[in-house]
A and B are shown apart, each in its own frame.
Chain A
Amino acid sequence: MSDVFDQFQGTASYIASEDLRHAVNVAVALARPLLVRGEPGTGKTLLAENLASSLGLPLIRWHVKSTTKARDGLYVYDTVARLHDSRFGDAANVRDIAKYIKLGPLGEALASPTRVVLLIDEIDKADLEFPNDLLHELDTMKFRVEETGKEIAATERPVVVITSNNEKELPDAFLRRCVFHYIQFPTRELMAEIVRVHHPDITDRVLDNALEVFFGLRATAKLRKKPSTSELIDWIMALKKAGVDLARVSGGIPFLGTLLKTEQDVELVGKRAKA
């Protein structure tokens, strides 16, 4: 087995399933972007953070919004500052366009002299064409700043992690270039392990009760939004802080608001509990 493989094993605070570890290592070994999809709250974003810390590399984040343009990730030419400087600042600066070129997250990752982990978070939030506009840069790992004619090329290909919430279909040409992993919702065993990482002092009995309630809720039909891992962890935190013992509580779930986020769901679960 080559030494590039099996670098990522999860970290002390992040439990990755075997499939996920494998997918990450394949992406690293093949130097291709890793596209991670899955239900919200299954730890897609955390994966990049923990991958960076486990590989010992700096992490650059790019949070994509609906208005984000692919070009913004490479660089932004600050025309207003230049105009301002030409009026009030020193003329020497103004002649040098490069001073007004600000690298975006992708640009920074490519310009970095060392290897970095780049997280492109929630790529599906942006316009339909956004991923297509990135194809060339992600393929060749270089780009040209039009204003100065300077070419920036990565000395070490960054490890790229891309997350998507499945809000939009991604274009095929983009998908072809990625390594794909779908994070499935953790099984009960894996979930127990995950909770233990966050709440090391939890007792078996409390954990069991909490998971019972949690998976019971998830199995409730017609919920608009099923509670996710991060919500379970918050909920257990709330229970601990308040010193509530689940086994002794009767009639309704305490702190339901940390698990369910719409009135309709709360109402629905309330009705079921009474019935």
Chain B
Amino acid sequence: MLIDFLFELRAKKVPVSTHEWMALMEGLALGLHESSLDGFYRLCRTICVKDIALYDAYDEAFLAYFKDVHVASLQLTQDLLDWLSDPKALEGLTAEQRAAMQGLDLEKLRALFEQRLKEQKERHDGGNRWIGTGGTSPFGTGGKNSNGMRVGGGGGRSAMAVADERRFKEYRRDVVLDVRQIDVALRGLRKLGREGAIEELDLDETIDKTCKNAGEIDIVFRPPRRNRVKVVLLMDVGGSMDPHSELVSKLFTAASRAGRFAKFRSYYFHNCVYNTIYEDAEFRKPVQVADLLANSDRDEKLVLVGDALMHPAELLDPGGSMYLYAQNRASGHEWLRRLAAHFRSSVWLNPEPDRFWTGTTIEVIASVFGMWPLTLDGLAHAVRYLVRGGERPKVGHPEKWAKGMGLG
């Protein structure tokens, strides 16, 4: 009978293996659940769920299987949730409206909610009865009802209860690339060499020396193998990069891990690189690009991350920076070319899906740096290119832009 619960869990994307399920059965046989539902809830969670991020999905599956209240009677279809996640704004509230929605306790509210949900057939915005957005009905999102129940959507503080609220929701993360995956991809970016303190016994060399020494023992130590790759990471932040900030911060987390690279430096820029970049994402600690070039070894690997989308003038015209206080004499394109010329190997990772690349400034930047999308696959290619060199992918028709680049 419980096997259905296993599939309920797996359907909710909790990766429970047979291995763990057998352990649970063993636990049940030993009576570890104390013959209670509470005990079972805890037992199953400790054995089957190994990540706090999945606790929420587990709660959901548990509710679904053991209570049938939530999912059976409150089938929130995807449509309903989609619409609720795009709320219409509502400002201000008259006194009578406020009075009208006083005093609904949680029990009543729930009963009413289920009833409405059964009756409602279509989208509502700005009303006072149905589940909708921007209204004064007790149900929905983005509305004003001091005692209401929030359904879907985000923000809004007045709702007394959030439908399906669960304790571990904040820990949830459904993401494409996780740090570990990036970590694994970055592992290819290395060049091992023996450097640093000598602390490892070199057995072969010791035997050789000892033999040459006619049996007198001569112990040879050597430094352990370490990654010698040095990396400079330049990240575009703010503006059109905001939707990608989580992905970029994951890349940063994986790359900045202690001991990964012999030397790792990271800087921020906005939109395009001009004469100044910044040590912090708030743009308070400026660094001149000229200084960066002077201080970096040509063997360091340069990795730029950005969507490379901007107005052509921002890239190609001298003085094109969108900030007046950061007026630049050389164009962004010129600065990018200086960077590319200094570093022997450099790549640009673009979080924008590559099907949108052609016909934009991406074409130009991809002609300066080898550009790959910021996906696992793209990252793997970029790493290979950084280590071994090779062909750069060609994007669109950069020659069309030649006039603007001052080459035509």
Contacts and interface: CB of A to CB of B under 8 A. Distances in A.
Task: Note whether A and B form a binding pair.
Answer: yes
Interface of A: 1-2, 4-5, 19, 22-23, 25-27, 29-30, 32, 35, 37, 66, 79-80, 83-84, 86-87, 128, 168-170, 172, 175-182
Contacts, number: 79
A255 B89 CA distance: 46
A168 B329 CA distance: 44
Interface string B238-262: 0000000000000000000011000
B32 A128 contact: no
Nearest to B46: A23
Interface string B205-245: 01000000000110100000000000000000000000000
A4 B30 CA distance: 9
Interface of B: 15, 17, 19-20, 23, 26-27, 30-32, 34, 39, 42-43, 45-47, 49-52, 55, 178-180, 183-184, 187, 201, 203, 206, 216-217, 219, 258-259
30 contacts: A2-B30, A22-B42, A23-B42, A23-B46, A26-B27, A26-B47, A29-B27, A29-B32, A30-B26, A79-B201, A79-B203, A80-B201, A83-B206, A83-B219, A84-B217, A87-B217, A128-B183, A128-B184, A168-B183, A169-B179, A175-B50, A176-B17, A176-B20, A177-B19, A179-B23, A180-B46, A180-B49, A180-B50, A181-B46, A182-B55
B238 to A, nearest CB: 18
B180 A5 contact: no
B52 A37 contact: yes
B43 to A, nearest CB: 6
B208 to A, nearest CB: 14
Nearest to B221: A80
Contacts of B47: 26, 30, 179-180
A30 B23 contact: yes
A142 to B, nearest CB: 19
Contacts of A172: 15
Nearest to A182: B52
B116 to A, nearest CB: 35
Contacts of A176: 17, 19-20, 50
B23 A169 contact: no
A181 B52 CA distance: 9
B203 A22 contact: no
Please name the 5 residue pairs, one residue from A and one from B, whose CB atoms are nearest each other, closest first. A175-B50, A169-B180, A180-B50, A23-B46, A87-B217
B183 A26 contact: no
Contact of B219 (A37, A80, A128, A175): A80
B259 A66 contact: yes
Contacts of A175: 50-51
A175 B42 CA distance: 17
B31 A5 contact: yes
B30 A5 contact: yes
Nearest to A174: B50
A268 to B, nearest CB: 14
Contacts of B258: 66
A83 to B, nearest CB: 6
A19 B23 contact: no
B203 to A, nearest CB: 7
A238 B141 CA distance: 48
Contacts of A169: 178-180
Nearest to A179: B46
A35 B45 CA distance: 13
Contacts of A128: 180, 183-184, 187
Contacts of B206: 83
Contacts of B19: 176-177
B249 to A, nearest CB: 15
B50 A178 contact: yes
Contact of A19 (B20, B42, B51, B184): B42
Nearest to B18: A176
A66 B178 CA distance: 21
Nearest to A35: B50
A80 to B, nearest CB: 6
Contacts of A30: 23, 26-27, 30, 32, 47
Given A2-B31, A176-B19, A177-B19, A26 B46 contact: yes
Given A66-B258, A179-B46, 20 more contacts: A4-B30, A5-B31, A22-B39, A22-B42, A22-B46, A23-B46, A29-B27, A29-B30, A66-B259, A79-B203, A80-B219, A83-B219, A87-B216, A128-B184, A176-B17, A176-B50, A178-B50, A179-B23, A180-B45, A180-B51
